[in-house]
Structures are given as structure tokens and as C-alpha cells.
């Protein structure tokens, strides 16, 4: 959700832009984007980390921007340690982390807006005018994007052909082939997981009734067992995807609809313009809903669960803490039938 900010800064031609990404997946968003001067990936090993700090220190940066959300010590420490003259970051009031004094350009974070818009507001600190629209629409063309190469798209078509699936432009029974994309994982936050069995049940129903012809099961390498289990529950009309993030994006592009928990792959799907349905419970859908014209969400009834959403980061805590510690009744209240009906309303 930082991509619109980075794109706008790079295309302004006011700055030479280097980017430091937290992982290779984030860096892959900008693979092939010619306006970025240098891309770096934050290493995990201490020696490599300090070598990178030294390298960045010798660049002598005039300005750094820490993208939202940034209420953690490393977002203040690193720009200070590399000697950046102006260190721009959001401020979080009384709940700001104890290292916030190291940043010398603080802009107050705004509650109740999307992370994309929160980041775009940082353009003002660079002298690039930006204001939120007064209506509830999206912010013009400043939407997230995900770049795919011709090689990525060729891989996707070859993958579908080799698994006897076909592409979304192919015909089946006189109509376009319809592929359902699934991401039932969610990284380390358990409160994002709607449940493998529920994903299986709604998918089997959609396949059985001919709404979709096949399902592709997505997820990272650490979700291998979950993907295998979901595939076994669905049966022969499901195929597990194991590929790098750009090739994964190319396969998501072939889907008619992407059904997902609150995850990064959900954001890739919406950035690619795909019909996307995100399932939310305790995490803040105002902040992190899929962002785009074809993006939809399903959320708990806030009259029954006034505590939802209860993710405290970044406004109330410096860690991604949820109000519920073990069970997540708000997420469990979203039934298979609710998701099934919402999918139908999107595709029909």
C-alpha cells in the first residue's frame, strides 16, 4: 500500500529515489519500474545489516520517508543512523514509540482513512500537493499497482495449460472459463484466518453449482501444509500454486475472482484490477481493505461486535496486538453462506 506514494515521488522528477524494502516480496512490486534508482532489501543477518547501514550512510541522503504504518523503533533508528538530513515519518501522539524523537519531520497520522491515503498524505511533506477527496471515493488514479513482465504472463499460461486448466479467455460450455483464486493463509496473525474448512466448503459449493470451473490455491512457502490440506478437501478441481511473487501475481491475473483473508496477496489481486473479496474480523478494514474499483470486503456485524476491529497497531500500540487473545468470535460470525452469497453478488 506504499506503491502509490513511491510512484508519485518517483514520477515527480524532483528527487532521485532509492527504496529500502522489508523483504523480497515488497521489492517485487517494483520489479522493472525504471524510475527507482536503487533498490535495497533489509537483511536479517547482523553483519549484512551493518554493512548496508554503512553503505547507505555514505550516500548522504537529503530526505528519508518512513511509509505508514511506522510506529516502531526501526523506522526512526535507521534514517538517523544513516545520517539523513530530513527524516519524515508519521506521528502517533501519546502512543508513539520511545524512539520517535530521532525523526525531525513528523506529520500527524489521521485516524479513519485507508493506508494508501495515509501514505499519499506524506507527499505534502515533500512539497508535492495532495489532499483527500471529500467524498468516499478512491483517490483518482493514485491506486496500488503490481508490475508483471511478459515472462511472468507466459509462465502463468504455461502453468494453466500444463495442469489442463486453461486461461480465463478460454471457453467452456460456450462461456468464458472462470477460475477462483483462494488465499486461506494469513501469516503470523491468527485473527486473520477465516478457516481452511470454511474456504473448502464455500469453494466446493461454488464449483458444484458451476459458478467457477476451477480453483487455484495460493500462499507462501510457510503455508505449504495448509495449501495441501485445502486442495485435498476441495478435490480434483483445485490446484496448488507454488511460485515466486511475480509469477504468483500473473496467475492471480488469470482468476475471475480472488477470495482471501486480509493478506498481501489480496492487495496484489486488487492492484491487478481483479474482482477481490477480502474477509475481515479483528483487523481494521478501514485501514487495510483491498483498494480499487473491483475490491469488496465482508466484515462482522459491528452492532453484535462493537469491539471490532480491535487491532491496536499503530495508533494504540507499537506491536500488532489484537484485543482478543485466543478466540475471534467476530471472524467466526462470518458464515459460509454469507461469503457464498457475497461472491454471487460480485460475479453475477
Q: What is the pLDDT along the chain (348 residues), one digit of tens a residue?
A: 899 999 999 999 899 999 999 988 888 888 888 889 999 999 989 999 999 999 999 999 999 999 999 999 999 999 999 999 999 999 998 888 989 999 999 999 999 999 999 999 999 999 998 887 643 445 556 889 999 999 999 999 999 999 999 766 665 655 679 999 999 998 777 889 999 999 999 999 999 999 999 999 999 988 999 999 999 999 999 999 999 999 999 999 999 999 999 999 999 999 999 999 999 999 999 999 999 889 999 999 999 999 999 988 999 989 888 888 678 999 999 999 999 999 999 998
Per 3-state DSSP, what percentage of the chain is helix, strand, and coil (rounded to 5)? 40, 15, 45
Q: Is residue 147 assigned to a domain?
A: no
Q: Are residues 114 and 220 in the same domain?
A: no
Query: How many domains does the chain fold into?
Result: 2
Q: Is residue 132 assigned to a domain?
A: no
Q: Are residues 117 and 194 in the same domain?
A: no
Q: Are residues 194 and 109 in the same domain?
A: no
Q: Is residue 136 assigned to a domain?
A: no
C-alpha cell at 35: 524510475
Q: Which of 250, 278, 273, 283 is nearest to 152 (CA)?
A: 250
Q: Which domain holds residue 225?
A: 173-347
- The DSSP secondary-structure symbol of 220 reads -
Q: Are residues 92 and 24 in the same domain?
A: yes
Q: Are residues 336 and 187 in the same domain?
A: yes
Q: Are residues 116 and 191 in the same domain?
A: no
Q: Are residues 82 and 212 in the same domain?
A: no
Q: Are residues 122 and 177 in the same domain?
A: no
- Measured CA to CA, the distance from residue 278 to residue 143 in angstroms comes to 17
The CATH number of the domain holding residue 20 is 3.40.50.2000
Q: Is residue 138 assigned to a domain?
A: no
Burial class (CB in 10 A: 0-12, 13-18, 19+), 179: buried
* SS (HEC) of 310-331: CECCCCCCCCCCECCCCCCHHH
C-alpha cell at 143: 491506486
Q: How many residues does the chain have?
A: 348
Identify the domain boundary among 67, 91, 126.
Answer: 126
- Measured CA to CA, the distance from residue 141 to residue 14 in angstroms comes to 20
Q: Which of 21, 7, 4 is nearest to 271 (CA)?
A: 4
CA distances from 41 to 21, 25, 27, 76 (A): 5, 10, 7, 17
Confidence (pLDDT) at 121? 94
Q: Are residues 301 and 179 in the same domain?
A: yes
- Residue-wise pLDDT for 117-135, tens only, equals 999 999 999 999 888 764 3
The answer for residues whose C-beta is within 8 angstroms of residue 112's C-beta and 6 or more apart is 286
Q: Is residue 80 assigned to a domain?
A: yes
Confidence (pLDDT) at 134? 42
- Residue-wise pLDDT for 77-106, tens only, equals 999 999 999 999 999 988 889 899 999 999
Q: Are residues 195 and 336 in the same domain?
A: yes
Burial class (CB in 10 A: 0-12, 13-18, 19+), 53: middle
Confidence (pLDDT) at 237? 96
Q: Is residue 140 assigned to a domain?
A: no
Q: Are residues 201 and 305 in the same domain?
A: yes
Q: Is residue 82 assigned to a domain?
A: yes
Confidence (pLDDT) at 264? 94
Give bridge partners of residue 221 from the DSSP assignment: none
Q: Is residue 156 assigned to a domain?
A: no
- Measured CA to CA, the distance from residue 145 to residue 4 in angstroms comes to 7
Geometric angle at alpha carbon 314, from 312 and 320, rounded to 5°: 55
Q: Are residues 109 and 180 in the same domain?
A: no
Amino acid at each position: 500500500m506504499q506503491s502509490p506514494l513511491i510512484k508519485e515521488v518517483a514520477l515527480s522528477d524532483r528527487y532521485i529515489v532509492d527504496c529500502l524494502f522489508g523483504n523480497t516480496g515488497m521489492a517485487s512490486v517494483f520489479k522493472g519500474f525504471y524510475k527507482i534508482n536503487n533498490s535495497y532489501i533489509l537483511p536479517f543477518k547482523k553483519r549484512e545489516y551493518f554493512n548496508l547501514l554503512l553503505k547507505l550512510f555514505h550516500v548522504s541522503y537529503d530526505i528519508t520517508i518512513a511509509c505508514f504504518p511506522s510506529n516502531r523503533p526501526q523506522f526512526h533508528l535507521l534514517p538517523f543512523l544513516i545520517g539523513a538530513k530530513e527524516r519524515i515519518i508519521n506521528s502517533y501522539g501519546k502512543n508513539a514509540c520511545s524512539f520517535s524523537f530521532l525523526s525531525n519531520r513528523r506529520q500527524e497520522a489521521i485516524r479513519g482513512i485507508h493506508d494508501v491515503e495515509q501514505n499519499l498524505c506524506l507527499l505534502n511533506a515533500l512539497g508535492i500537493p495532495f489532499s483527500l477527496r471529500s467524498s468516499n471515493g478512491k483517490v483518482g488514479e493514485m491506486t496500488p499497482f503490481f508490475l508483471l513482465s511478459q515472462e511472468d504472463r507466459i509462465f502463468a499460461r504455461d502453468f494453466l495449460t500444463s495442469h489442463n486448466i486453461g486461461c480465463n479467455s478460454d471457453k467452456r460450455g460456450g462461456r468464458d472459463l472462470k477460475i477462483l483464486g483462494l488465499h486461506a493463509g494469513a501469516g503470523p496473525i491468527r485473527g486473520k484466518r477465516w478457516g481452511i474448512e470454511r474456504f473448502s466448503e464455500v469453494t466446493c459449493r461454488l464449483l458444484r453449482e458451476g459458478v467457477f470451473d476451477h480453483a487455484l490455491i495460493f500462499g507462501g512457502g510457510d503455508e505449504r501444509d495448509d495449501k495441501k490440506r485445502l486442495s485435498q478437501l476441495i478435490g480434483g478441481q483445485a490446484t496448488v500454486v507454488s511460485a515466486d511473487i511475480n509469477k504468483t501475481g500473473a496467475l492471480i491475473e488469470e482468476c475471475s475472482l480472488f477470495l482471501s483473508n486480509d493478506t498481501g496477496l489480496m492487495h496484489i489481486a486488487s492492484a491487478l484490477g481483479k474482482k477481490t473479496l477480502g474477509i475481515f474480523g479483528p483487523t481494521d478494514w478501514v485501514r487495510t481493505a483491498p483498494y480499487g474499483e473491483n475490491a469488496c470486503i465482508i466484515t462482522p456485524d459491528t452492532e453484535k461486535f462493537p469491539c471490532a476491529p480491535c487491532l491496536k497497531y499503530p495508533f494504540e500500540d507499537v506491536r500488532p496486538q489484537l484485543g482478543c487473545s485466543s478466540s475471534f468470535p467476530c471472524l467466526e460470525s462470518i458464515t459460509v453462506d454469507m461469503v457464498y452469497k457475497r461472491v454471487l453478488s460480485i460475479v453475477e
